[in-house]
Amino acid sequence: MAKAIQYTEFGGPEVLTLNEIPDPEPGPGQVVIRVEAAGVNPIDWKLRERIRPSADITKPRGTGTDGAGHILAVGEDVDGFRPGDPVVFTGKMGAYATALAVPAEKVFARPVGVSAAVGAALGTPVGTAYQALRSLAVRADDTLLIHGASGAVGQAAIQFAVLAGARVLGTTSDARAERVAGLGAEPIAYGEGLVERVRSAAPEGVTVILDCAGTDEALDASLELLADRDRIATIVRGADAAGLGIRAFSGGSPEPLTPRQEAWRLEAIPVCLALLAAGRFSVELGERYPLERAADAQRDSRAGAPGKLLVIP
């Protein structure tokens, strides 16, 4: 029997339970993966607490959508994979498990030298950052301001923007400024006087803003710093974006991603894996938790623990 973290009611971390489940079998177009690491994302606990819209629970529900491991079995109509292949996957609910059946189009070969831990850290953060920058058309002549630059999405966005040749400013705490600077951004302390600090650092102005923080300060500063609201986007305060006249990419937005944006989120994974293999991308890993401590992982994620938290089945 496989094991998985599940819940049968909405609530705090205590609703998560470790259950035995039938060993998954691959359907047509699927592969079964032995999960060696699962990434912990804020959306995991936001869905569990029903902060984000979620359908009623009618049967035990898994949690987590990103992970990495090795293929155990391959279903019909699947080419390019065979048992034993190291892989990364994204977009499949129930990643906190020992084994999982995943559609092959959401599975990517993991290069030699990219660990399961690093692979599991990619999915949602890398896909979100890549799609946001593509949607905002960030290029070499841009000055990009990222709010919440030290988080997983912020760190990925810094690196993609720097690779595109853009100048990047990133709001952060003093404790996280060194990490932000090490990725190629200019750290800007958040708090009182934020707008003035940004203007001092970039007197010619910023041309595009990505909000990964979701605070009132970040949104208010964004509106004051940039008149072109079509080049301001949030990944957190999607429900408020229309009223502010800015763009939203998920983050509670009632407007779904377009098919092209969804495709960009998947495209990001092999792009990032290639960059990792070439030593041109960095992932900051945080604490690792055994499967039975998944509740602690989500609790710490909610509290803002640094680095990419991982559940290790």
Other beta carbons within 10 angstroms of residue 158's beta carbon come to 28
**Number of alpha carbons in the 13 Å side-chain half-sphere of residue 17:** 10
Please state, in angstroms and rounded to a whole number, the distance separating the CA atoms of residues 103 and 258. Answer: 20
Overall CATH class of domain 2-122+283-312: alpha beta
In the chain, where does the domain assigned CATH 3.40.50.720 lie?
127-248
pLDDT of 5: 98
pLDDT of 54: 87
- Cα of first residue to Cα of last residue in the chain, in angstroms, is 13
At the fourth CATH level, the homologous superfamily of domain 127-248 is: NAD(P)-binding Rossmann-like Domain (3.40.50.720)
Distances from the Cα of 285 to the Cαs of 178, 303, 307, in angstroms?
A: 16, 16, 5
Please state, in angstroms and rounded to a whole number, the distance separating the CA atoms of residues 223 and 241. Answer: 11
pLDDT of 53: 85
Q: Are 241 and 248 in contact (CB under 8 A)?
A: yes
Task: Quote the tokens at residue 189.
Answer: 């302390």
Nearest in space to 303 (alpha carbons), one of 282, 287, 285: 287
Please state, in angstroms and rounded to a whole number, the distance separating the CA atoms of residues 144 and 165. Answer: 11
pLDDT tens digits for 208-248? 999 999 999 999 999 999 999 999 999 999 999 999 999 99
Q: Are 199 and 225 in contact (CB under 8 A)?
A: yes
Angle between helices 152-163 and 259-277 (to 10 degrees): 80
164-188: burial string, b at 16+ Cβ within 10 Å, e else: bebbbbbbbeeebbebbeebbbbbb
Residues of the chain with pLDDT under 70: none
pLDDT tens digits for 272-302? 999 999 999 999 999 999 999 999 999 999 9
Residue matched to tokens 């391959």: 74
Residue type, 289: Y
In the chain, where does the domain assigned CATH 3.90.180.10 lie?
2-122+283-312
Nearest in space to 17 (alpha carbons), one of 32, 1, 4, 35: 4
Please state, in angstroms and rounded to a whole number, the distance separating the CA atoms of residues 206 and 255. Answer: 26
